[in-house]
Structure 1
Amino acid sequence: MIKTRRAFRPFYLACVALAGVAFIAGCASAPGVVPKSTGWVKDEVSDSYVFGYPLVLMDVAREAATGSGPGQAEVNTLRHAQALPPVGSASPPAPNLDTLSSSGWLDLGSEPVLVALPDSRGRYMDVRALDMWTNVVWSSGAQPGARANGIKAQTIAFVPAGWKGDLPARAQRVEVPSRYVWLLVRIQTHGGDLAAIRKLQRGIRVAPLSQYAASGARGGGRGDPAASGATASGDPVAPGSPREKVAALDAGGFFDRLAQALEDNPPVPDDPHALKILGDLGVHPGDPVALPSGASDALAAGLADGRERVATPPSNLLAGNGWLWVGDNAGNYGPDYALRAYTAYAQPGLGTRDDEVRARVSVDSDGHPLNGANRYVIHFTPKQLPPVRGFWSITAYTTSGALDEDMPVRIAFGDRNGARRNRDGSLDVHVSAERQKAGNWVPTPHGDFQLVLRMYAPKREATDGSWQPPAVERQ
């Protein structure tokens, strides 16, 4: 159930009782007139918005990313990023400067889709697949014997729920409850290693089962339709991020989108109670929405409340010294709809606890907003260094999650790009808009900003709450 200031409630019985009282009162004054209460609408709209937000967001993102237009790729293909995101970019929020991504949407509506991955030969490479509710259905980091740096060659077959049939030998079967899957591949970059990354990208194959055998066992070249067949990064895309587009929907637009997406993507976990509440609102999978009439104020209030709840960090985030991050439940949210919705809103595409941790901070040790007019230091004691099996980095963004075009340089500082420890093994990271001679420097915007600490292939203490990042101290 939703774990915020309210949970889903059995509003239906209360509504029946209220309707009965209203009917009796109406009979005493105006025969044949039955006043209807709409007091329940606000709460049910708010709860249902939190419940359905991840699915609507993913559906909007899928629609924006698939097709033959600029910045798009057809379903069952990948779009390869071959350059770091441009300054000013905030889609997705806090774009990654450590890796180049290949992403695409798989359509399991008619048959399984197979993904063949190459051996990354020691280069960090992680792969994750999310269903339409943002649950991670498969990730390379969560596999037995997973490597801290990179992956081994393997083939994964994503199959529709209940599908029966034969798959190629040694293909790992992954049953998916939703029709669509978001596949995300990230390969570490050192800046001047584009040729090696392109080679790995070309080695990824995505193909429906009916085309897989005919296209051969290995990834093909540019002319191979069964290969990734993607466009390069930097192409123009439709204005407005998926998050902004969802926020612009009114109640009718949001719930209509939810109803249509529910037809092919049933709730995970299966929740008849949540569907019943949606039914009370006139929202049924695949059908036109018929929201309660005469309740426009309650609908608007419920929608505003739902938006606020989605954007508010839930109480069960891990927290320490001003930093916030998702713990062990990342990627597998169960009925914790508040955490699922917030993560979809703030950290789209987040993997499991074995894949990555993204910790964020926007205040210093005194609780004041971080601002580029000041200088800061983050002091890691020898035992407080980010606990990873892979690597870690810190990047600064504007408060909206964009890369500021006024930043002096565009880098993610971390243990793989010259981090120098003190004699006692501790590490001081300097944070400022002006270049620091001391080294270990995170460049920031000149105004208010936030920091994101990324831990790739994190150790368990990074997600179980036993470790915390140090505070950001103003100098």
Structure 2
Amino acid sequence: MKKAGLFITALSVLTSMATGSAYANENKQYHAGSVQPQTSTSPITVPLVQAPYRTNLAYSVGVDAYIYGYTLVEMARTMQQFTEKTPLNTFHHDKLLADASFKDFVKPNNDTLYSTAWLDLSKGPQVLSYPTIARYFTLQMMDAYSNSFKYIGGSNLDDYKGGKVVIVGPNWEGKLPGNVEVIRAPTDMLWILGRTFVNGEKDLPNVYNIQTGYTLAPLDVNQKPGAIDLPKIESADFGDPSKFYPLLAQLMKLNPPPQRDEAFLSKLEFIRLDYQAGTFHANNDPVVWEGLTKAVKDAKEIIKNSISILQRPNNGNWRVNNERVGIYDTYYLNRAMVAMHGIGANTPEEAVYASTRVDDGGTPLVGQKKYVIHFEKEQIPPTKSFWSLSLYNFENHFIDNELDRYSIGDRTEGLKYNEDGSLDIFIQSTPPKGKETNWLPSPSSTTAPNFSLVVRIYTPDEPLQKKNTFVIPAIKVVNE
């Protein structure tokens, strides 16, 4: 019954997202009658006969608003974590590949060094420079809603020659140099997530040299420093309607939503969320508040448990991200799921992701078992750059292991192929005798499920980007 209820709720959420104008019209009736917009801290008087209906309506709108706004709040929380160590409009360059201690965001890769910058464009444009680079790299630009609106590098081959661009905010007007590319960001809050390929620990100094060429500078030296004024966002705020909805209102004022969201935005009036003013006033309406309290709890579960919508099946037990990743349009649930399970994901043109938590029999992966994934020669992931296989714990972070190996792939030093060109990768908690070069360590815990696997294919061949033409081999138990 619980699963059925969640399914019905999810369907109602998706349906209601398309009927925002109806809610807005009904809400005007409340304002014309005995229910008035809240302009003070005094309680709102509501006829009792309306209470059940209004609670249910507040619940429905509250679920939609939570799903819509989850990514925006999570992006801001990630920004705040970053700016505790690095100012806005400044690059931070990682110097070590992500390992078990990396907790900045979920499902990091272990193939590249990250170069990260959060921008505040409200004070003026920023000039981004990058050097000539003879290896895979990307500078992914995401707006406040996590849409990847621009890439430098990756599949854009001309960018490897180096260059300079001016990034301006959505409403900025002024004079710009005539010989520089201009990128207009959809929001003033912007995340640049850079990735530069590293071929193992010995290659790190070479990447450091490249990172020094990633720079940001104000277009006008007299520009004020970046500043995004928000209260401290904690993980617990995502489960507290008195914290989440006010944060959402403030963030929507700072980062006005696109016009395409107008149908959804018309519903927010009913739960007293004014995104244009950045205010939220439902706290003193107990009938609405009852619906919102339940909405936060259920919406969070909907996001957590709807991951299958985001992925298409591949070989029964692998799931590959569909084309609605990286740029989300009005697919708000997709956007929220990525923010929860792997924020900052690339578009399919730049990387294809496949994941699994089960073996070929559908049994959850556990540490006490030994597994192998066998790639026939024609099953080696098709890519213009490289591919890797990574292992994560149930919280989507790397797992500490004696080899300090968190991913394995075609660039792994010493990787051994079979005589016929096929490849075996062994996944277990103890070293496979004589096959250590092809070993991806798993945890020793026996509690199921306790780890997942992710295949990343960088700049994949075109047929793989939007079609399910590539089959990833199943994970099989090794019988000894």
TM tier, smaller: 0.7 to 0.9
1:409 to 392, 404, 409: 404
Going from structure 1 to structure 2, the CA distance change for 1:76 and 1:18 (only over 3 Å counts) comes to closer
Aligned length: 431
Going from structure 1 to structure 2, the CA distance change for 1:86 and 1:431 (only over 3 Å counts) comes to closer
Partner of 1:221: none
Q: 5 Å matches for 1:414-429?
A: 414-417=409-412, 418-429=414-425
Structure 1 position 11, deviation (Å): 2.9
Going from structure 1 to structure 2, the CA distance change for 1:330 and 1:119 (only over 3 Å counts) comes to same
Q: How large is the RMSD of aligned CA atoms in angstroms? A: 2.9
What's the secondary structure of 1:77's corresponding residue? coil
Query: Is the 1:381–1:425 Cα contact (8 Å) retained in structure 2?
Result: yes
Partner of 1:102: 115
Query: Is the 2:59–2:292 Cα contact (8 Å) retained in structure 1?
Result: yes
Going from structure 1 to structure 2, the CA distance change for 1:461 and 1:430 (only over 3 Å counts) comes to farther
Partner of 1:263: 253
1:49 to 66, 90, 93: 66
Query: Within the alignment, does 1:186 sit opposite 2:195 as a pair?
Result: yes
- TM-score normalised by the chain length of structure 2: 0.82
Distance 2:207 2:388 in 1: 20
Going from structure 1 to structure 2, the CA distance change for 1:22 and 1:163 (only over 3 Å counts) comes to closer
Going from structure 1 to structure 2, the CA distance change for 1:194 and 1:427 (only over 3 Å counts) comes to closer
Going from structure 1 to structure 2, the CA distance change for 1:146 and 1:385 (only over 3 Å counts) comes to farther
2:291 to 273, 298, 312: 298
Partner of 1:231: none
Distance 1:376 1:15 in 2: 57
Going from structure 1 to structure 2, the CA distance change for 1:194 and 1:144 (only over 3 Å counts) comes to closer
Query: Is the 1:407–1:446 Cα contact (8 Å) retained in structure 2?
Result: no
Q: Look up the equivalent residue of 1:351 and give its one-letter code.
A: N
Q: Look up the equivalent residue of 2:397 and give its one-letter code.
A: A
Going from structure 1 to structure 2, the CA distance change for 1:461 and 1:407 (only over 3 Å counts) comes to farther
Going from structure 1 to structure 2, the CA distance change for 1:43 and 1:308 (only over 3 Å counts) comes to same
Distance 1:22 1:269 in 2: 32
1:289 to 257, 267, 280: 280
Going from structure 1 to structure 2, the CA distance change for 1:459 and 1:470 (only over 3 Å counts) comes to same
What's the secondary structure of 1:75's corresponding residue? coil
Query: Within the alignment, does 1:61 sit opposite 2:78 as a pair?
Result: yes
Structure 1 position 287, deviation (Å): 3.2
Distance 1:260 1:452 in 2: 35
Partner of 1:217: none
Structure 1 position 367, deviation (Å): 0.9
What's the secondary structure of 1:206's corresponding residue? strand
Partner of 2:4: none
Distance 1:109 1:144 in 2: 28
Q: 5 Å matches for 1:351-390?
A: 351-390=346-385
Going from structure 1 to structure 2, the CA distance change for 1:409 and 1:177 (only over 3 Å counts) comes to closer
Partner of 1:400: 395
Q: Look up the equivalent residue of 2:281 and give its one-letter code.
A: A
Partner of 1:473: 476
Partner of 1:80: 93
Partner of 1:175: 184
Query: Once the two structures are aligned, what percentage of the paired residues are identical?
Result: 26
Partner of 2:6: none
Structure 1 position 91, deviation (Å): 3.4
Structure 1 position 73, deviation (Å): 0.9
1:115 to 103, 128, 140: 128
- TM-score normalised by the chain length of structure 1: 0.83
Distance 1:415 1:246 in 2: 41
Greater shift in the superposed pair: 304-313 or 264-273: 264-273
Q: Which residues of structure 1 form unaligned runs of 5+?
A: 24-31, 215-225, 227-239
Instruction: Deviation per CA, 1:338-388: give whole Å up to 9, x if none.
Output: 111111111111122222223221111111111111111112222221121
Instruction: Deviation per CA, 1:18-58: give whole Å up to 9, x if none.
Output: 999999xxxxxxxx955333221111111111111111111
Task: Name the structure with the higher helix share.
Answer: 2
Query: Is the 1:50–1:337 Cα contact (8 Å) retained in structure 2?
Result: yes
Partner of 1:309: 302
Going from structure 1 to structure 2, the CA distance change for 1:45 and 1:182 (only over 3 Å counts) comes to same
Q: Which residues of structure 2 form unaligned runs of 5+?
A: 1-9, 36-45, 226-231
Distance 1:316 1:411 in 2: 25
